[in-house]
């Protein structure tokens, strides 16, 4: 079986971008730069150290020196995802003596390694006005189970990918207040596959693969403000809007293909962050981030022209939050050390709502990293984070199309993640 991975590609400014397994709650991608990995992204809306502030808070561009600033990052996400059965029952489509379908296996490792790149650019028009551009994957997830997985009728392969192009502007109101605003263009694609039973009358029961695929583009906006309350304390506020998508594609099962559509509202986020210079060498970072995951309660797939419901997959997402605390210590003029911890709440609260496509759970980040300056123009960031996921259960009924069956997938998921990041920054 091939390695599980999600790859998102877009050509922009002669750069090929790819995105991978979601490491923020739900299927959001927290890994928008390499520097933030080292302090668990605590206080990212207030740090404003390099061009990646275009994403985290565009107002932060005013805290970069005049001229051009470019940051390019690569993050490797290495995820292990395993299922342990705890009483699942076999699918039966007819009463005895028609046999049930084989129960199947625990599905192997549904994780894998993925690459998440991002690139940002900021420039000054004058001392009080900045322009910027960011290109990065903001949502993405990939899960691939073995073909005989116990939960194959609920989902066997799931791939979600979204690239965000984010032009931005920032201006200084006065010595205390800086404002920023951005437009977001998102290109979204989805590929969701599972198995469908054909007949249980044969000596060897037969499954066929069903596939829902589609894509769309959408627009949103983001805004931020930074308050420099005193020389030591900086506070950032930022908001990213929801993005409405009308994903159009098709449902395929064997030789049959049906035109399909599904409406999706990607969630909005708001963050409050601070960066406090506790001493000449030590900076303390903290943030609270809210995500409106309740905008996506279900995936209701309809026939594109007739409007009839083809599949209805309940997600039960709830709004979630994230809190983080970090630090940066200027060890030498060239070397800055970093560390951080964060708690990221999952939008999934119940075992009945958890899916084999997105077996999400609350997680805790532990992170370390550094920044090293080669000279006044060029520096490199590196970071490592270990994510500790709560071991959560699933107790979900299998639904074929819109018909609930008597099968329940019952068990628990064991997830572990290592994140490695590197980022190059250059000013000219």
What residue spans define the domains of the chain? 10-427
Q: What is the pLDDT of residue 92?
A: 86
- pLDDT tens track for 47-102: 999 999 999 999 999 999 999 999 999 999 999 999 999 999 999 877 777 778 88
What would the two tokens of residue 11 be?
Answer: 């050509």
Q: Candidates 1.10.620.20, 2.40.160.60, 1.10.3720.10, 3.30.930.10; correct CATH number of 10-427?
A: 2.40.160.60
What residue ranges of the chain have pLDDT lower than 70? Answer: 1-24, 199-205
What's the 3-state SS for 199-264? ECCCCCCEEEEEEEEEEEEEEEEEEEEEEEEECCEEEEEEEECCEEEEEEEEEEECCEEEEEEEEE
Q: What is the pLDDT of residue 388?
A: 95
Alpha helices in 50-194 (DSSP H): 53-56
Q: What is the pLDDT of residue 122?
A: 98
């Amino acid at each position: 079986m091939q390695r599980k991975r999600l790859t998102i590609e877009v050509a922009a400014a002669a750069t090929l971008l790819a995105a991978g397994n979601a490491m923020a709650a739900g299927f959001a991608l927290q890994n928008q730069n390499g520097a933030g990995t080292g302090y668990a992204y605590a206080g990212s809306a207030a740090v404003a150290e390099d061009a990646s502030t275009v994403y985290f808070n565009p107002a932060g561009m005013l805290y970069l020196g005049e001229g051009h600033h470019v940051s390019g990052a690569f993050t490797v996400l290495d995820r292990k995802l395993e299922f342990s059965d705890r009483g699942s029952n076999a699918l039966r489509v007819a009463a005895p003596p028609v046999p049930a379908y084989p129960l199947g296996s625990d599905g192997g490792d549904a994780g894998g390694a993925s690459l998440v790149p991002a690139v940002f650019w900021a420039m000054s028009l004058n001392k009080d006005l900045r322009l910027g551009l960011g290109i990065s994957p903001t949502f993405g997830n990939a899960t691939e189970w073995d073909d005989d997985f116990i939960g194959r009728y609920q989902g066997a392969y799931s791939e979600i990918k979204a690239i965000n192009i984010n032009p931005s502007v920032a201006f200084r109101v006065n010595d205390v207040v800086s404002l920023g605003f951005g437009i977001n263009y998102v290109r979204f694609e989805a590929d969701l596959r599972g198995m469908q039973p054909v007949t249980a009358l044969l000596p060897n029961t037969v499954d066929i693969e069903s596939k829902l695929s589609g894509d769309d583009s959408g627009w949103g906006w983001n805004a931020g403000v930074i308050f420099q309350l005193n020389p030591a304390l900086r506070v950032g506020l930022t908001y990213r809007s929801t993005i409405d998508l009308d994903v159009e594609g098709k449902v395929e099962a064997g030789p049959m293909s049906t035109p399909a559509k599904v409406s999706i509202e990607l969630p909005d986020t708001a963050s409050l962050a601070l960066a406090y210079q506790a001493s000449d060498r030590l900076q303390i970072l903290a943030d609270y981030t809210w995500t409106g995951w309740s905008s996506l309660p279900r995936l209701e797939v309809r026939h594109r022209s007739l409007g009839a419901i083809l599949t209805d997959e309940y997600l039960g997402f709830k709004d979630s939050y994230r809190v983080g605390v970090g630090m940066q210590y200027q060890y030498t003029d060239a070397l800055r050390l970093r560390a951080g911890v964060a708690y990221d709440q999952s939008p999934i609260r119940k075992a009945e709502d958890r899916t084999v496509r997105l077996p999400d759970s609350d997680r805790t980040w532990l992170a370390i990293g550094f920044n090293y300056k080669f000279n006044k123009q060029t520096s490199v960031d590196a970071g490592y984070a270990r994510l500790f996921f709560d071991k959560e259960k699933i107790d979900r009924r299998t639904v074929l199309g819109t018909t609930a069956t008597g099968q329940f997938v019952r068990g628990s998921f064991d997830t572990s993640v290592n994140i490695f990041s590197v980022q190059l920054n250059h000013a000219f």
